[in-house]
Amino acid sequence: MWTPDEIPDLTGSTAVITGASGGIGVPTALELARHGARVVMTARDPDRGRAALEAVRAAAPGATAEVRALDLADLRSVRAFADTVDGPLELLVNNAGMGPMSRRTTADGFETQFGVNHLGHFALTGLLMPRLLAASAARVVTVSSDAHSLGAIDFENLGLERGYGMFSAYSRSKLANLLFAVELQRRADASGAALLSLATHPGMTATGILKPGALTRPFNALMRLVAQPVAKGARPSLYAATSPEARGGQYIGPGPKVLRPSPKALDEAVAARLWERSEALTGVRFGEIRQH
């Protein structure tokens, strides 16, 4: 069984981890830092971000880690954060996520789970693409979920103004994550860029993803009983981010092992359409993914 002890020496590389103020993002940042990466943790809440950074520094003395502000529910914040990243970027872990919740909208008017989980990360990845392509072989890891298999993308109802359900909104956002990760690999392959894009499913993990509420109460109770600890939930991301055996386009689940995504996550027409709509909605255009 693969463990984080197998992570190679990452000295000289830089990693950005979104949503590193809690949950799975913290052990992800910790293990990358422990193995020598310069780690940029992002947080929407500065206090939670500082606390997570202190936890990483305490567990990995001498690690090079810092925390910067990033709110994926606001494209101005995404742009402001991306502007702070300079030099080659070897690793981007699109980990942050909002779990099932009543319908809300982001600063830009997007349904929040789609806006944060998918569109925010889509825009971030596009804005950081020049930095990723400046690295010799960068990786983008996008944290999806097995819940993606229950998702459906209705291009006539992307705002979910009709028929909103908190769990279907979550599944849809996770399907979008997986469609994006696979399509990014297709596009990198088409232009010969040395970029790997993978998606992951952490497995049911004891985190704060399900906020307390009447509808989520039974799921939270189940989670407390059967969920794995956060350090294990980070393993699929860590494997996808660092293993020499990982391949672009793979979907890595608990174990870590390679999972087969739902066929709808591999639908090329839907992926291409989602990409176009995501570019139009965010105003972030990837262009050709080519190394110069």
Ligand X SMILES: NC(=O)c1ccc[n+]([C@@H]2O[C@H](COP(=O)([O-])OP(=O)(O)OC[C@H]3O[C@@H](n4cnc5c(N)ncnc54)[C@H](OP(=O)(O)O)[C@@H]3O)[C@@H](O)[C@H]2O)c1
Which residues have a catalytic role annotated?
A: 170
Decide: residue 277, CB within 10 A, 0-12 exposed, 13-18 middle, 19+ buried.
middle
Minimum distance between the CB of residue 205 and ligand X, rounded to whole angstroms? 4
- Binding residue count for ligand X, defined by CB under 6 A: 29
For ligand X, the closer of residues 143 and 252 by Cβ is 143
Does the protein bind ligand X through residue 145 (CB under 6 A)? yes
DSSP conformational letter for 291: -
For ligand X, the closer of residues 14 and 177 by Cβ is 177
The residue from 10, 14, 16, 22 that contacts ligand X (CB under 6 A) is: 22
Minimum distance between the CB of residue 208 and ligand X, rounded to whole angstroms? 4
C-alpha torsion sign, points 244, 247, 248, 249: negative
Nearest residue to ligand X, by Cβ distance, number only: 23
- Write each residue from 192 to 231 as x if it is in contact with ligand X (CB under 6 A), else as -, in one continuous string: ---------xx-xx-xxx----------------------
Count of CB atoms situated within 10 Å of the CB of 166 = 17
User: Which residues, 48 to 87, sit near ligand X by CB under 6 A?
Assistant: 48, 70-73
- Tokens (6 digits) for 5: 């002890």
The packing angle between helices 268-282 and 166-191, to 10°, is 100
Distances (CA, A) of 186 to 101, 183, 267, 288: 32, 5, 12, 12
For ligand X, the closer of residues 48 and 57 by Cβ is 48
Minimum distance between the CB of residue 288 and ligand X, rounded to whole angstroms? 28
CA distance 125 to 123: 6
Does the protein bind ligand X through residue 33 (CB under 6 A)? no
The residue from 44, 148, 232, 235 that contacts ligand X (CB under 6 A) is: 44
For ligand X, the closer of residues 36 and 120 by Cβ is 120
- Give one DSSP letter per residue of 10-66, joined into a string: -TT-EEEESSTTSTTHHHHHHHHHHTT-EEEEEESSHHHHHHHHHHHHHHSTT-EEE
277 Cβ neighbours under 8 A, 6+ residues apart: 155, 158
CA distance 116 to 168: 15
User: Which residues, 114 to 133, sit near ligand X by CB under 6 A?
Assistant: 116
Does the protein bind ligand X through residue 96 (CB under 6 A)? yes
Does the protein bind ligand X through residue 24 (CB under 6 A)? yes
CA distance 77 to 272: 26
For ligand X, the closer of residues 134 and 166 by Cβ is 166
Minimum distance between the CB of residue 292 and ligand X, rounded to whole angstroms? 30
Q: Name the residue with tokens 């422990």.
A: 34
The residue from 17, 40, 85, 98 that contacts ligand X (CB under 6 A) is: 98
Binding region for ligand X (CB under 6 A): 18-19, 21-25, 44-45, 48, 70-73, 95-98, 116, 143, 145, 201-202, 204-205, 207-209, 233
